[in-house]
Amino acid sequence: MSAGAPTDRQAQILRVIRHWIADHGEGPSIRQIGERVGLSSTSSVAYQLVRLEDLGLISRTGPRWRSCHLGT
């Protein structure tokens, strides 16, 4: 795996975000992501979201994760 490739968990999170945005028109909350990928710790979800943001796979238009959208 290259340094720029998401981990399996990050790929799961990306799928959740993609489907949630398609269904609801905005990003899911940290808790909603955690429920769908099996992480009960919101800090673990937030950590993974920051890593995905660092990789350029997601970005936010505001301070909340609900404002996230998928990168290009």
What is the C-alpha separation between 55 and 23, in angstroms, rounded? 25
pLDDT digits (tens, 9 = 90+) for 56-65: 999 988 888 8
Taking a C-beta distance cutoff of 8 angstroms, is the pair 13, 45 a contact? Answer: yes
pLDDT digits (tens, 9 = 90+) for 4-48: 789 999 999 999 999 999 999 989 999 999 999 999 999 999 999
Q: Which CATH architecture has domain 8-70?
A: Orthogonal Bundle (1.10)
Domain locations along the chain: 8-70
What is the C-alpha separation between 41 and 58, in angstroms, rounded? 20
Q: What is the pTM of this model?
A: 0.85
